[in-house]
Copies of this chain bind each other. A is one copy, B any other.
Amino acid sequence: MKTINIADKHKLFDEAWTPKIVGDLNGSQVKLAKFRGEFAWHAHENEDEFFLVTKGTMRMRLRDGDQIVGSGEFIIVPRGVEHCPVAESDEVHVMMVEPASTVNTGDLDDARTLTDLERI
């Protein structure tokens, strides 16, 4: 049980769209990721997703209108809702909280689908 510095953990990796696990709570995981460019439209059937931006600005594309999420802001995407995260700045640092069962690309089988996340 140690204090985790989010910015220090973000320095430990460079790849975009590859969430790293940094904590566990109540069957969910805390994950850190870097976003660059645009991801892919997808939804998670059974998982609500929490995204907190800690650096840069993210655009969350949604079918009923985009949301802009800056540093110190968060958005919760409920289960079943199609979304597509986009880096509005060159690079965005994100902290996510979501059930351990969550696959990054949800219902989409994509080249970026990850099934075994690294812990840092």
- What chain B residues lie within 8 Å of A70 (beta carbons)? 3, 5
Contact of A74 among B3, B48, B75 (CB under 8 A): B3
Check: A49 CB closer than 8 A to any chain B CB.
yes
In angstroms, Cα B30 to Cα A7, docked, is 21
Complex contact B3–A78 (CB within 8 A): no
User: Interface code A46-79, partner B: CB below 8 Å = 1, 0 otherwise?
Assistant: 0111101010000010100001111011111110
How far in angstroms is the closest Cβ of chain B from A56?
14
Q: Are A2 and B75 interface neighbours, CB within 8 A?
A: yes
Q: For chain A, give the interface size range.
A: 35 or more
* Contact A26 B98, CB 8 Å, known A1-B62, A1-B78, A67-B3: yes
Q: Is the CB of A54 within 8 A of B72?
A: yes
Given the contacts A25-B97, A97-B25, A3 and B73 also touching, CB distance less than 8 Å: yes
Residues of B within 8 Å of A67, CB to CB, are 1-3
B residues less than 8 Å from A27 (CB atoms)? 26
Q: Is A28 an interface residue (CB 8 A)?
A: yes
Whole-angstrom distance between the alpha carbons of A5 and B71 in the complex? Answer: 9
Measured between beta carbons, the chain B residues less than 8 angstroms from A25 are 48-50, 76, 97-98
